[in-house]
Amino acid sequence: MADKKPDRIKLDSRSWTLLKRLWVDWLQEDWKRMAIALGLMGIVAAATGAYPLLIERAYSLFETRDFDLIMLLPVAVILVTALKGGAFYIQSVMTGSIVNAAIMRMQNALFSHLLESDLAQIGAHPVGTLITRFTNDLNLLSNAFGKTITNSIRDTLTVIALIISMFYLDWLLALIVLVIYPLAAIPIIEVGRRLRRVAKSTQVHMGETTAFLNESLSGARMIKSYGLEDYERERAGTIFHRLFQLMLRRVKARARLDPLLEVLGGIAVAGVIVFGGYRISTGAGTIGGFTGFVSALLIAAQPVRSIGQLNAAIQEGLSAAQRYYQLFDQQPRIVEKFGAPALAIDKAAIVFDDVRFAYAAPPALAEAEEDEPEPVSALNGVSFTVPAGKTVALVGASGAGKTTVMNLIPRLFDAASGTISIDGQDVRDVSLKSLRGAIALVSQDIVLFNDTVAQNISFGRADADRDAITEAARAAAAHDFISGLPEGYDTVVGDRGSRLSGGERQRLSIARAILKDAPILLLDEATSSLDAESERQIQVALDRLTRNRTTLVIAHRLATVRNAHQICVMEAGRVVETGTHSELVVKGGIYAKLAALQFGGVKAAQTVGSL
């Protein structure tokens, strides 16, 4: 059974290490502004500590009836409050700026890290879980940063200033208060312990909830088509109820603090009244001193309560920080060698030599070695060549390994063994930027951003002008439908291209690849979402684009690859047949069976091959 001690909340060595890292990584660069904020906190504390002294002085002047000095007291009070208010405002704004700047740096750093992470690492986490890192987790950290900077310094200084005032007014009563209030530390520590455990469970479930919402709302079409509304409501009800239970536990744990502090404050006030009344009755104390002391005690209640809540905020923040760094510290496996040269393209020939690959979960996701899933073999000794300037097609049933082959060329994954080379250069020996810059990809998983049509096409080449973008759109048979959009090329396509049809989205993706004009083309079901006429237009454009260009094509519809220079048939992670369409039909193997199914018999397939 896993050891639960790390979940227990106290500021142990691990917690201090984490706090130190947060300081060094994200806060230290703002130390000058924090020093200024610290000075302003000192002013706020000193002004607050002066209140009880002003009250005591007022009572003393009332007793002596010194009206000239009494008239100066309002001026002193106004000056003190104005000084405190101004310092409080500037310090609060400065602290908020420091905290929010740190959170912004954390967001930017994590986003950049994810962009550089392996595809496998990103895919191992539900999208909702990743989003939660940027939202809920960093909100908890923001709260912890703010309270740590403010409560641990300003409120502590304020309490110290008030204690000094108490000792000045009546040292015996001050000692009584100092004996009672430290008793609050015991329940505060225990509440913090519970809160960190609850916070960890809540944050995990928040990620699961966000992932569920993203999945369910994105699949609204399928849910309605299959009448799954009741099923989804039941799933949502279970998830939201679990979240409600965790949030309620969190509320209950936090709610214990204020009553505890209130009771201890009441005990302290009661003790002060008893001993203060006794000292006044014996002449050892004055009404002015007693009133000032009680005022100091009451004023101290708010900062003491804030300090009492500080531990809870820190523990929640530490739990969020642990989750943040767990993701941030994952090192990518796909890295380029130190000093790796740029890929030198001569003819752009691609060679696969005994390539093997298996999908496996990243080690960080397994809680124990025995829980790590077995690798799923995808490629088992794949060897073939894409000659320079030629088109090679990969066909076969789903799961045969076609997309895996394509993903290995730009190093979205790395082969477990064997080599993949371009013009004799192992793809693992060249820089990633140059490798991926030499490749244009059109996938069946179309990615469009919530930006204009022109901007989505120009991702293929950032420096492209409008004429180049338009020319690429024409080549992809996209110009006509783009011209019919409300704003033409300046029309925003919506989230994931939601304002466009599937075929329109795919044509924009093809236009992007055409604009990139890379020497290597990877086409993964590039025409799968097009109607017959659009497919014909795109196929003409692709035939023109692939001429004298090294092209690897994946297609289930054999009609789109029958003119390929070579067809590789894959089965169970191996290349089992190679040849042209006509050659493979004559062999009577797997390809011939596929062709017979799609073209209506062997003779029809042979006839198609001769067209």
Once rounded to an integer, what is the mean pLDDT over residues 296-321? 80
482: Cα within 13 Å, side-chain hemisphere: 29
Is a pLDDT exceeding 60 seen at residue 90?
Answer: yes
Q: What is the pLDDT of residues 57-71, one digit of tens each?
A: 887 777 666 666 666
Task: Please tell me the total number of residues recorded for the chain in this structure.
Answer: 611
Residue where a domain terminates, one of 273, 295, 328: 328
Confidence of residue 353 (pLDDT cuts 50, 70, 90): very high
Contacts of 121 (CB under 8 A, 6+ apart): 330, 332, 333, 362
pLDDT, greater one: 161 or 365: 161
Residue 167 lies in a domain: yes
Distance CA 136, CA 127 (A): 14
Residue 247 lies in a domain: yes
Q: What is the pLDDT of residues 97-156, one digit of tens each?
A: 999 899 999 989 998 888 888 877 777 777 777 888 888 888 888 888 888 888 788 888
Q: What is the pLDDT of residues 156-184, one digit of tens each?
A: 899 899 889 988 888 888 887 777 666 65
Residue 431 lies in a domain: no
Residue where a domain terminates, one of 310, 328, 346: 328
The continuous run of DSSP H or E covering 569 comes out as strand 566-571
Single out the residue of 547, 544, 546, 548 nearest to residue 521, CA to CA: 546
Q: How many other CB atoms are found less than 10 A from the CB of residue 425?
A: 18
Note the pLDDT of residue 375. Answer: 64
Residue 299 lies in a domain: yes
The single residue listed with the structure tokens 């993964």 is 524
Q: In what order do the strands lie in the sheet with 425-426?
A: 376-386, 350-359, 417-422, 425-426
Question: Are 132 and 210 in contact, with CB atoms under 8 Å apart?
Answer: yes
Tokens (6 digits) for 77: 């009070």
Is a pLDDT exceeding 90 seen at residue 290?
Answer: no
Q: What is the pLDDT of residues 383-431, one digit of tens each?
A: 999 999 999 999 988 888 999 999 999 998 899 999 999 999 999 999 9
Note the pLDDT of residue 8. Answer: 38
Distance CA 568, CA 557 (A): 14
Note the pLDDT of residue 379. Answer: 92
Q: What is the pLDDT of residues 533-558, one digit of tens each?
A: 667 767 776 777 777 789 999 987 78
pTM: 0.73
Is a pLDDT exceeding 50 seen at residue 5?
Answer: no
Chain mean pLDDT for the chain: 80
- Overall domain count for the chain: 2
Residue 180 lies in a domain: yes
Once rounded to an integer, what is the mean pLDDT over residues 289-305? 80
Is a pLDDT exceeding 70 seen at residue 288?
Answer: yes
Share of the chain above pLDDT 70, in %: 80
Residue where a domain terminates, one of 299, 328, 357: 328
Q: Which of 42-51, 98-107, 360-369, 582-591 has the lowest mean pLDDT?
A: 360-369
Confidence of residue 229 (pLDDT cuts 50, 70, 90): confident
Is a pLDDT exceeding 60 seen at residue 572?
Answer: yes
Note the pLDDT of residue 449. Answer: 84
Residue 400 lies in a domain: no
Supply the range of the domain harboring residue 587.
582-611
Residue 249 lies in a domain: yes
Helix%, strand%, coil% for the chain, nearest 5: 65, 10, 25
Contacts of 310 (CB under 8 A, 6+ apart): 147, 148, 151, 152, 155
Residue 411 lies in a domain: no
Q: What is the CATH number of the domain that holds 310?
A: 1.20.1560.10
